[in-house]
Structure 1
Amino acid sequence: MSQLSTTRSRRRCHPADKVADHLARGLWRPETVTDLFASWVERRPDRTATTDPSNLGDLTGAAPRSLTWRELDDHVRQIAAVLFAHGIRTNDVVAVQVPNSVSLVATYLALWRLGAVATPMPTSYRRHELSGIVAATKAVAVVTVGRLGDREFAADALGLVGEHDGLRTVFAFGPHVPDGAVEIGDVPVPAEQAAEADARAAGLEHTVNDEITICWTSGTESAPKGIPRCHADWLAVGYGVQDAMETDEDSVLLNPFPLVNMAGFAAALLPWLIGGGHLVHHHPLDIGVYLAQIQQHRATHTITAPAILTMLLQNDKLRNTFDLSSLQRVGAGGAPLAPSVVAAWQNDHGIEVINFFGSNEGLCLLGAPNDIPDPELRAEHLPNYAAREKEWVAHLARHTEVKLVDPETGEIVTSTGGRGELRLKGPTVFAGYLEGTAASSPFDEDGFLCSGDVFELCGENGEYLRFVDRIKEIIIRGGMNIAPAEVEGLLQEHPAVAEVAVVGVPDEVLGEKCCAVVVPAEGANPTLEDLVEHLRRHDVASFKLPEQLRIVDTLPRNAVGKLLRRHIRTELLETER
């Protein structure tokens, strides 16, 4: 009888028959994320594995460092020992709010080593979001930092202890760890304590269906939705992206995207664990620091926003200040890519840009250079995996079903030039939202994930897809999703607001910004500063704060009273022309 035979059963994501089917057909691999990590520790113990942001000291006060695979393994085991000594056990959910760093990666690996589940959060989240996530997941602990910039992260988290049933511990990386929090990281661990944690980890049987993360997304509902994921579907995403990134043991991957959801995990963490190279962290985006890191570490791969690619191409002086010659491939997504920009990077600088399109729920389409060699074509198009007559490099093509559905008629779009909602079924798709965090299922009657994104069928034989628009009403600001209903609900409490709608307006750098469209209360004259201050009192993340205000007499609604945000946005843009 194993040491863990009396513990509660593991949290699983998918039904057992689906797991067996996917493994038998090769849709999933019989390995875990922790297996991958252990393999590199064994094969490359003394090679550099990961490096902190060069400005980490300015951010948190901690000295930046690089660790080999063996040193990273030691760091993971030390963190796991502290977690275990303070009660973290198999199936426990732990909220993690740590900036991109060696310690963030080590925290994830330590939790998974113990069979616990990480629920990652961007550092831009504040008490409002943290409280909601702790409540929804029944998290027993928070792992964070003592301080980040001028914010006291650990102290904020300690303020929630006692307000939520089950939340009992706040762990914090130093320096600046307040009283009441448990310091984690480079702290001595008694030998007996470390041995006990090692024994627990060694006795734990991992399966590919074990839940390891609960990430968060925002849709049309008023609160974020939880997205549980297991080893198998994360690695399906990772190997799919790897077909385009093509990292290996000699690769140096610089990551500026928060390691909290699909963007950071799929384009950075997983390609690093699959390829076995060197992961360099960056946080938050500082273009000078970012370019200096490319030069210093001779980065071969990175990911960035399309606006950054455009800006660097147009700014010869800035670009030529740094040696970027080591770069081979750059992943970009979250906003449309300009064909001329992608072509210039490839033809003039020898850097191939990969067109990524994904979602936390499991959409995973990517324009790999080997699939779409023409950079201008690749900038605007993604592969239609339903076009089976074409041989795609991406192995996901063989296991992914894709269809476009006319949102008005429900008919499947089959003619080139036709447009419809992208729906997808395959090994990258999650099993469903965390109970209690979504009002409806994201799947149609045939089990396809409904993306809420409209694409056009392109190419001579419908072999490509071109993004057109979103059915969903989320605002995407700098890669971060904002649910209008959430912000509206808080603004509606302001005494000067009678009605409010929050919509996205175009922005050249961030993609979109929030605009609050307000019908004032009688006799009131609300200002943008009033509304922002009101939201700040609710500890709302800064990226959700409205940056424009429009005062109107009425807001358009449908027959049942639902806001017609698309109409509002259209009218808003027309008045600005």
Structure 2
Amino acid sequence: MRCHPADRAADYLQRGWWSADTIDALLRARVAEFGDQPALVDPPNLAELTGNSPGRWTWTELAAQVDSLAAYLLSLGVRAGNVVAVQLPNSGDLVRAFLAIVRIGAIATPFPVSYREHELVPMCRRTGAVALITTTRVGDHALAEQASRVRAEVPSLQHVLTSFADIPDGRAPMHVADVNDCVTICWTSGTEAAPKAVPRCHADWLVMALGTQWAARLGPADVLLSPFPMTNMAGISGMFLPWLMVGGVFVPHHPFDLTVFLQQIAENRATYTVAPPALLTMLLHREDLMSTVDVSSLRLVGSGSAPLTPWMVRSWAERYGIEVINFFGSNEGIALVSDPHDVPDPDHRATYFPYYASKVRWNNPVAARTAVKLADPTTGAAVTVAGQPGELLIAGPSVFAGYLNAKPGTELDRSCFDADGWFRTGDVFEIAGESDEFLRYVDRAKDLVIRGGMNISPAEVEGLIAAHPAVTEVAVVGVPDPVLGERVCAVVVLSAELSLASLTNFLREQRVASYKLPERLEIVDALPRNPVGKVLKRELRGLAEVAT
């Protein structure tokens, strides 16, 4: 399955915007280069999480296990172009599964371990997944039992693999991939009730990874600690692929546990990691905690998913000598990066992103490959003056080709691309800076809730809560949290008594991912609405914050 039209792919390659590398070629190159040097280290709490002992692998050992799993998938009948679903914790197993799927030319569709049947069944049906790779359990979530139930409801799903322990040694024949071949189908988790499927090829993933690798100045001596599973751009192009591009050591972390996270920094001598801004801010206020851990190995920390504060970025540099990179990205291909090299001033770096269309020359290689413009959200007219909000539109070799099954001219296609083929991000920015060289983030175009880096669709959760017999009306909003960034708050109008515990139990019975469950319940007499009946969620967020 090729993602982009052939003429577009040829143009990107001819311009040098796309690399000729594939993900499997990167793995083979790193194995040849680094051989018996360390490559991958499991999280230390893996046994508690899954029952499996944590492991360590050299590049050679990793490659052998990838080859054996790839050969086993072929023996099951999985072929190039087939879709393989993956639901594994952030660990060595997830890395090996991803690489084995890619090695045979199949397509990985990765899912968070918190997903239940409510999410998995329709997603596996839409992609026609032929196999599901998972594990026995994650905590008290029985993934193997869940996988059996999913298999019974998805006709295409022929195989479920729950353990790597009994896979025999094997060699997979060389598969020659094209850089335009689809390699992943990730999923939006935005403001729509139904997530959209985002196919991505080798080449457009690697463009985004190049921006991260350059911004963090990653090389073969680096140790990357990744708290983001490889289910979306943060984990894939933000951590996993930069590691494959340069070598070094990859250290997954899961689930997020601050004590374990800090332990992994110290024990593995991590040089680069990522963390949400709320966590970075909280740690600055916990000098008692920071004085007990060794973070001296860290050079840089990536952050994003919510606005950064100048105080936070400046304080990490002044207190610990650690620079913070400000990222703004998406599965579809947004790749804005404000790093210490292009934006040395910490106040600017926290507040702005480079405006690639300005006259300033930005050094990050993604800048020259990404076309950017702002459009008035109402009229669509070009926004060219500072201080006027406009929707961000982008084009170029990092941008995906379109949502799965979104044929040109359909509503799904028109909703994400304008008439000239620019991707409509749905995010509002304005031009800023003394020379109009920056973009300043204004707001989400829709009311997304971002909890610990995971995007939650209010519309989806509202639909589930509305099914409760005691609920007359419901609106879901995010409320600030010092560690996770936001938590889910349900604001409801009731016809009978309802507690938060009763509501969450009701949702658990529908097998909904646990991170989507409301953690606050506010009861009101009526939802505030504008003159045309739209719920005023800004007022609801204020109400919930006051009630905290």
- Specify the alignment match of 1:535 in structure 2: 507
Q: Does 1:305 align with 2:279?
A: no
SS at match of 1:395: coil
- Specify the alignment match of 1:51 in structure 2: 41
SS at match of 1:78: helix
- Specify the alignment match of 2:526 in structure 1: 554
**What amino acid is the match of 1:329?**
L
Matches of 1:559 and 1:95 in 2, distance apart? 45
- Specify the alignment match of 1:430 in structure 2: 400
Is the Cα–Cα contact under 8 Å of residues 84 and 109 in structure 2 kept in the other structure?
yes
Q: Compute the displacement of 1:259 (Å).
A: 1.5
Q: Compute the displacement of 1:527 (Å).
A: 2.4
Matches of 2:385 and 2:402 in 1, distance apart? 31
- Specify the alignment match of 1:459 in structure 2: 433
SS at match of 1:549: strand
Matches of 1:508 and 1:343 in 2, distance apart? 18
The one of 369, 373, 378 equivalent to 1:408 is 378
Taking a change above 3 Å as real, the CA distance of residues 411 and 566 of structure 1, as seen in their structure-2 partners, is: farther
**What amino acid is the match of 1:342?**
V
Give 1:330-341 correspondences, 5 Å limit. Answer: 330-341=301-312
- Specify the alignment match of 2:299 in structure 1: 328
Matches of 1:331 and 1:467 in 2, distance apart? 17
Give 1:89-108 correspondences, 5 Å limit. Answer: 89-108=79-98
**What amino acid is the match of 1:90?**
A
Q: Compute the displacement of 1:421 (Å).
A: 1.4
**What amino acid is the match of 1:143?**
I
The one of 238, 246, 251 equivalent to 2:209 is 238
Matches of 2:531 and 2:323 in 1, distance apart? 49
The one of 222, 240, 248 equivalent to 2:193 is 222
Is the Cα–Cα contact under 8 Å of residues 140 and 167 in structure 1 kept in the other structure?
yes
SS at match of 1:337: coil
Counting matched residue pairs gives 544
Is the Cα–Cα contact under 8 Å of residues 406 and 413 in structure 1 kept in the other structure?
yes
Matches of 2:360 and 2:451 in 1, distance apart? 35
**What amino acid is the match of 2:385?**
S
- Specify the alignment match of 2:166 in structure 1: 187
Note the alpha carbon deviations across 1:348-405, whole angstroms, 9 max, x for none: 3211110011111111101111100111211111111111x21211111112111122
**What amino acid is the match of 1:465?**
L
**What amino acid is the match of 1:409?**
T
Matches of 1:571 and 1:406 in 2, distance apart? 27
Note the alpha carbon deviations across 1:232-278, whole angstroms, 9 max, x for none: 10001011111101111111111111221011112210110111111
Give 1:101-180 correspondences, 5 Å limit. Answer: 101-173=91-163
Is the Cα–Cα contact under 8 Å of residues 556 and 567 in structure 1 kept in the other structure?
no
Matches of 2:278 and 2:521 in 1, distance apart? 24
Q: Compute the displacement of 1:347 (Å).
A: 2.3
Q: Does 1:12 align with 2:12?
A: no
- Specify the alignment match of 1:478 in structure 2: 452
The one of 466, 472, 482 equivalent to 1:498 is 472
Matches of 1:275 and 1:93 in 2, distance apart? 28
Taking a change above 3 Å as real, the CA distance of residues 377 and 49 of structure 1, as seen in their structure-2 partners, is: same
SS at match of 1:430: coil
Note the alpha carbon deviations across 1:526-567, whole angstroms, 9 max, x for none: 222222111110011111111222333434567876x43535
Taking a change above 3 Å as real, the CA distance of residues 308 and 550 of structure 1, as seen in their structure-2 partners, is: closer
What TM-score, normalized by structure 1, do the two folds share?
Answer: 0.91
Q: Compute the displacement of 1:571 (Å).
A: 6.1
Matches of 1:436 and 1:151 in 2, distance apart? 34
Taking every aligned residue pair, what percent have the same amino acid on both sides? Answer: 51
Is the Cα–Cα contact under 8 Å of residues 108 and 185 in structure 2 kept in the other structure?
yes
Taking a change above 3 Å as real, the CA distance of residues 575 and 295 of structure 1, as seen in their structure-2 partners, is: closer
Is the Cα–Cα contact under 8 Å of residues 225 and 434 in structure 1 kept in the other structure?
yes
Matches of 2:67 and 2:136 in 1, distance apart? 21
5+ residue gaps, structure 1 = 1-10, 174-184
Is the Cα–Cα contact under 8 Å of residues 473 and 565 in structure 1 kept in the other structure?
no
- Specify the alignment match of 1:178 in structure 2: none
Q: Does 1:395 align with 2:395?
A: no
What TM-score, normalized by structure 2, do the two folds share?
Answer: 0.95
Is the Cα–Cα contact under 8 Å of residues 504 and 569 in structure 1 kept in the other structure?
no
**What amino acid is the match of 1:381?**
Y
The one of 379, 389, 395 equivalent to 1:419 is 389
Taking a change above 3 Å as real, the CA distance of residues 163 and 460 of structure 1, as seen in their structure-2 partners, is: same
The one of 244, 258, 270 equivalent to 2:229 is 258
- Specify the alignment match of 2:487 in structure 1: 513
Q: Does 1:31 align with 2:21?
A: yes
Deviates more, 1:157-166 or 1:435-444: 435-444
Q: Compute the displacement of 1:416 (Å).
A: 2.0
SS at match of 2:134: strand
SS at match of 1:162: helix
5+ residue gaps, structure 2 = none
Matches of 2:416 and 2:112 in 1, distance apart? 24
Matches of 1:467 and 1:331 in 2, distance apart? 17
Matches of 2:6 and 2:279 in 1, distance apart? 44
Q: Compute the displacement of 1:568 (Å).
A: 5.0
Taking a change above 3 Å as real, the CA distance of residues 565 and 110 of structure 1, as seen in their structure-2 partners, is: farther
Note the alpha carbon deviations across 1:182-240, whole angstroms, 9 max, x for none: xxx232526xxx35xx23xx2x3200011010111123321111111000100010111
Note the alpha carbon deviations across 1:287-309, whole angstroms, 9 max, x for none: 11111111111111111111221
Matches of 2:540 and 2:180 in 1, distance apart? 42
Q: Compute the displacement of 1:484 (Å).
A: 1.3
Matches of 1:136 and 1:572 in 2, distance apart? 39
SS at match of 1:21: helix
Is the Cα–Cα contact under 8 Å of residues 251 and 299 in structure 1 kept in the other structure?
yes
- Specify the alignment match of 1:7 in structure 2: none
Q: Does 1:449 align with 2:419?
A: no
